[in-house]
Amino acid sequence: MALVHSAEAPVAAIIVSYNSAEELPALLRSLAASTIDVHVIVVDNGSTDASVEVARTFEHVTVVPTGANLGYSGGINAGRERVRDGQAVAILNPDLVVAPDALERMLDETRQSEVGVVGPMVRNLDGSRFDSVRHEPSLCGAIGEALFGARWRARPSLLAEVEYRHGSYLEAHDADWLSGAALLVRADCARAVGDWDAESFFLYSEETDFARRARAAGYRVRYTPHAVVTHVGGASGQSSALTALLEVNRLRYVQKHRGAAYARAYRVVLALGCALRAFRSSHRHALATLLSRARWSTLPAASAATATTATTAT
């Protein structure tokens, strides 16, 4: 078994769960088959299902019930408190299955000069590729996303915020940022960048922000196709509230890093994208939320934690 106590593992894997009882066993079993030792930390964000009980059935898994929904960044930060100095930190969605050598290959990638963050090839359950390589948000990229979305996949990177081109996923290369579904952060990079921005980003854009801060600290963000994870979660779609939060947090990221004037123009482009998809109720809701800052207070947000007690299954 590869699940071990923290002092024995080169990698600490943080899994933020929220009503993830059905998905967790497959991920935890896949981590137990890892080719390197892993200390697994499941941070439960106030689940109302059996997520905590399920996680506790796995030997050597540290379970951190927060007592509330802290959001993805807040959950990661709670997990970081249980990471030993010198450990690389893997961030994993609960609805993944990790190939046995995936974490080892990602860790190997961090041994290259200045590589601080590594993301794997992400496969969907049907074997198709998930487009996990992303470009720094920009007006031109947002215009391309608004007008074309996932169509015209061969378009120039200047007109995209997602890397759609097939050839970009065949070889390892540096990227601006990568999907937060699965990441591995080198120990010194995690220490230098510090906490994830839970105040600004309850969910969505937190990995964009972390990658930018890692690059600003002198680290490279790197994609590798040699490590593979599979997303096994259901395809039930996204609620209107989460669609609105996704769009608003794209804007919040630009406000934080590019300033008010740039953000105003970016907001117009985001609104255009939602308007072009207004045949969907979720995008009509997102458009109304983007255009009315008063509605932002109704978006999903972190609630106060009532407990942060860690337990380790034995």
pLDDT of residue 169: 98
Q: Which CATH superfamily is domain 6-236 in?
A: Spore Coat Polysaccharide Biosynthesis Protein SpsA; Chain A (3.90.550.10)
Percent of the chain with pLDDT over 70: 95
pLDDT of residue 310: 59
Q: What is the pLDDT of residues 133-190, one digit of tens each?
A: 999 999 999 999 999 999 999 999 999 999 999 999 999 999 999 999 999 999 999 9
pLDDT of residue 307: 46
Token readout for 59 is 């030997």
199 has pLDDT over 80: yes
142 DSSP assignment = H
92 phi, psi to nearest 5 deg? -130, 130
pLDDT of residue 153: 96
pLDDT of residue 4: 85
**Average pLDDT of the residues in 53-77:** 96
pLDDT of residue 73: 97
100 has pLDDT over 90: yes
CA-CA distance, 180 to 190, in Å (whole number)? 14
Q: CB–CB of 93/63 below 8 Å?
A: no
Q: What is the pLDDT of residues 208-229, one digit of tens each?
A: 999 999 999 999 999 999 999 9
Domain boundaries, the chain: 6-236, 240-298
pLDDT of residue 285: 98
pLDDT of residue 151: 95
**Average pLDDT of the residues in 102-121:** 97
The full DSSP string for 231-280 is E--------HHHHHHHHHHHHHHHHHHH-HHHHHHHHHHHHHHHHHTTTS
CA-CA distance, 241 to 219, in Å (whole number)? 34
Q: What is the pLDDT of residues 246-288, one digit of tens each?
A: 999 999 999 999 999 999 999 999 999 999 999 999 999 999 9
Token readout for 227 is 């490590």
CA-CA distance, 63 to 43, in Å (whole number)? 6
pLDDT of residue 3: 87
- Count CA atoms within 13 Å of residue 206 on its CB side: 23
pLDDT of residue 304: 67
pLDDT of residue 235: 47
